Amino acid sequence: MGVAGPALAAGEDKPAAAVVNLQGVGLPVIAGGQVRNYVFISIRLHLSGSATMETVRAKDAHFRDALVKAAHRTPFTLANDWSQLDAAALSRSLMAAATRIAGQGKIARVEVLHQAPRRRTGIPTG
């Protein structure tokens, strides 16, 4: 798991916000009640000032578990593209779970860094 700590940008007096990169996870693309593809995603958690990287990093497995469970309960599938997931819905879902996992206000933002589909051909795309 990658971690980026506070760093000073050129000409700035205050440190940049801390981030934690979660280990990659594969999520299903479900359409018509069937798994049509898997998309492997990379997620970055932007921490608030009240969170410590060590505490959030220790919860990596809990965040990934929440994503997998949410993806099976209500898939992040796009109606016309089985090669990527709805990044906004995925981020909202993980933000909702973040309060339970890390505590109120510890995660400021969830960013989907990368999406890589398992299958790239034979699937509808927009």
What are the tens digits of pLDDT across the range 22-64? 999 999 999 888 999 999 999 999 999 888 899 999 999 999 9
| pLDDT over 90 at 110, yes or no | yes
| pLDDT over 80 at 126, yes or no | no
For the chain, give the percent of residues with pLDDT over 90. 62
Helix residue ranges, H only, 5-59: 53-57
Task: Provide the pLDDT for residue 1.
Answer: 47
- 103 CB burial (10 A radius; 0-12, 13-18, 19+): middle
Measure the CA angle with vertex 19, ends 41 and 75; round to 5°.
Answer: 30
For the segment 57-97, what is each residue's pLDDT rounded down to a tens digit? 999 999 999 999 999 998 899 988 899 999 999 999 999 99
Task: Specify whether the backbone of 104 is left (phi greater than 0), alpha (psi in -120 to 50) or beta.
Answer: beta
| pLDDT over 50 at 3, yes or no | no
DSSP 8: P
The pTM score is 0.79
Confidence class for position 17, pLDDT limits 50, 70, 90:
confident
